[in-house]
Structure 1
Amino acid sequence: MGKYVLKRLLVAIPTFFGITILVFIISCLAPGSPLELLLADPMATEADRAVLEHQMGLDDPIVVQYFRWLGNMLRGNLGTSYRTNLPVSQMVLERLGPTLLLTVISTVIAILIAVPLGIMSAYKPYSAWDYISSGLSFVGASTPTFFTGLILIYVFSVKLGILPMGGMYDSGTRSILSLMKHLILPAAVLAIFNIGSILRQTRGSMLEVFQEDFIRTARAKGLKERIVIIKHGLRNALIPVVTVLSTMIPFLFGGAVVAEQVFGWPGLGNLMVQSINARDYPAIMGITVVIAVAVLIGNVVVDIVYGFLDPKIREKR
């Protein structure tokens, strides 16, 4: 297992650098420049622009700019934001906690809802329950997160007035109760989007497992149906479900970008949009580093979980 984890980490290293190269090139080639924000004075001349561009190193070739950023990043320096003039590491750390809270809570909610629904749908396939749960999951997965968010805001905030429209805390307070109230709607939006994928995969995997000989043997021994489903069925059906969860990690951060914008949640997604609009290259790259590392570590963790779920996989490693 240790050799396998090391191998996966070694594979993740070039992947990480490939991600940073692509994002850096795309950011630099995008229309606009941070100079437009920094030189807001209408009296500024082209000479002023050229001097500032040289001071910031933006007149160097993209390759030189990238390796300069890379060298600083490897020394633990993510640079200074063009927009706020604050260290990027400080800005990222302040926004990382809210984003992790939102994505983790929404994922847990999605799993707690989708896995039981998938098991029940597979246990009674083609029943009314199966059609209803599958239909609702398809609707949730196919509806854009921003549209779902606007509907929830309209119903629960505008019409019913029981939940806040956005933000992370009520004005003047930072209590746990206030945080939980503000977390409900954005977490629900991300959970609704992810329930469909998890439910469909759980249902399909459980249907295959229910046809296996060891399930019929367990039932023939007189084991309780609950034990047959959970102990013998679910564990063998979890590997494809875990695979789906691993592929969802990038989409979780992508969905968080939209949800954070809709609900004004002060996370990495919100910061990313602000940084892109301002062409704040150091902030964009700092956020990219954090998300890339999170996704790569998540994939390695999923591979380790495979070994615990399936002894055959563990022996091969």
Structure 2
Amino acid sequence: MRTTIVKRLLQMIPMLVVISIISFALIKLAPGDPINSFVTPDMNPTDVERIRQSLGLDQPLYIQYFRWLVNLCQGNLGYSIINSQPVLEQIIERIPATLGLMGTSLVLTLILAIPLGLIAAAYENTWIDKILNGLSYVGISIPVFWFGMLLINFFSIKLGWFPSLGMRTIGENSFKDMVWHAVLPVVTLTFQGCASYYRYVRSNTINQLKEDYVLFGYAKGLSKLRVLAYHVLKNALLPVITLLGMSLPQIISGAFITESIFSWPGMGSLGINAIFQLDYPVIMAITLFSALLLIIGNLLADIAYTIIDPRISGKE
């Protein structure tokens, strides 16, 4: 197991280098010029070129990438082109808001999706299963931005129950106020995530219910609830572990669309603003950060597999 972990960690380095090269090239090939944020109609072309030189954007692409890579190896993510603030400080400032939002929605998703998936599988093709399947199809099909806008229109504009934008009310720093602002974005993310997780749990549970150990449990006189909770659940969670590993980058980097809709001051909104403004250092930092977390998430998922199912470690 240790050998596998060490190999995977060593493989991260070339993977991240390749990802950074591709990301850097794609960003530079994107239409637009970040200098336009500083240019005014009456500005002298000489001044425009001086700004470009001061930002290092006049150098060839490979030199710009090499400078960025050297700074990265020194722990320096660079400075934002738009506001000249250190990228690392902006990320650290935004992470708590994203962790609170994404972490809460993920916990609620698991609390709802796992038992609902087990129930639907246990009562397959009944009215309970059909209702839950219908809701899951809606959750998977509906665009998250549209669902968020529906919630804002109904619960914020028409009913006035919840605030529509931001993380806090101006002049109010209470925890209750923050929770009140988080209700709609958390519901948006939970509804979408629950639909996906539910489908995986239900499908895998149906397959597990056909196994011999389930029939043996019924033969021993165990109730359906006990068989599901103590025997089927552990095996049905294996695909969920994979999803959790792939969700790790999103938990940290944020839901770009949802945070933008609700003006939530997290990593997602930071990334969207950086993309629109062609803020290369911020885009590269978030992209590389997300790629690193995805690799780590997959590694943690593999480790969790061996803990839950010892047969996997035996095969290794």
Match of 2:30 in 1: 30
Matched, 1:73 2:69: no
Asked if structure 2 preserves the Cα contact closer than 8 Å seen for 1:95 and 1:267, the reply is yes
CA distance in structure 1 between the partners assigned to 2:99 and 2:22 by the alignment: 24
Q: Once the two structures are aligned, what percentage of the paired residues are identical?
A: 39
Question: How many positions carry a matched residue from both structures?
Answer: 316
Match of 1:46 in 2: 45
Match of 1:16 in 2: 16
Task: Report how far residue 55 of structure 1 moved.
Answer: 2.5
Structure 1 residue runs without a partner (length 5+): none
Q: Amino acid of the residue matched to residue 28 of structure 1?
A: K
Alignment of 1:1-150 (within 5 A): 1-40=1-40, 42-150=41-149
- When the two chains are superposed, the root-mean-square deviation of aligned CA atoms in Å is 1.7
CA distance in structure 1 between the partners assigned to 2:147 and 2:252 by the alignment: 17
Q: Residues 142 and 255 (structure 1 numbering): CA distance in 2 closer, same or farther, change over 3 Å?
A: farther
Match of 1:227 in 2: 226
TM value normalised by structure 1: 0.94
Matched, 1:184 2:183: yes
Q: Which whole-Å deviations, capped at 9, do the CAs of 1:77-136 have from their partners, x for residues lacking one?
A: 111111111111111111111112221111111111111111001001000110110110
CA distance in structure 1 between the partners assigned to 2:253 and 2:135 by the alignment: 22
CA distance in structure 2 between the partners assigned to 1:91 and 1:271 by the alignment: 8
Q: Amino acid of the residue matched to residue 3 of structure 2?
A: K
Task: Report how far residue 201 of structure 1 moved.
Answer: 0.9
TM value normalised by structure 2: 0.95
Matched, 1:211 2:210: yes
Match of 2:291 in 1: 292
Q: Residues 266 and 90 (structure 1 numbering): CA distance in 2 closer, same or farther, change over 3 Å?
A: same
Structure 2 residue runs without a partner (length 5+): none
Task: Report how far residue 254 of structure 1 moved.
Answer: 8.2
Q: Residues 76 and 250 (structure 1 numbering): CA distance in 2 closer, same or farther, change over 3 Å?
A: closer
Asked if structure 2 preserves the Cα contact closer than 8 Å seen for 1:77 and 1:89, the reply is yes
Q: Residues 120 and 231 (structure 1 numbering): CA distance in 2 closer, same or farther, change over 3 Å?
A: same
Q: Which whole-Å deviations, capped at 9, do the CAs of 1:4-33 have from their partners, x for residues lacking one?
A: 222222222222222222221111111121
Q: Residues 89 and 250 (structure 1 numbering): CA distance in 2 closer, same or farther, change over 3 Å?
A: closer
Q: Amino acid of the residue matched to residue 182 of structure 2?
A: L
Which segment is superposed worse, 281-290 or 238-247? 238-247
Q: Residues 163 and 264 (structure 1 numbering): CA distance in 2 closer, same or farther, change over 3 Å?
A: same
Alignment of 1:301-312 (within 5 A): 301-312=300-311
Report SS of the residue matched to 1:82.
coil
Task: Report how far residue 270 of structure 1 moved.
Answer: 0.6
Alignment of 1:154-169 (within 5 A): 154-169=153-168
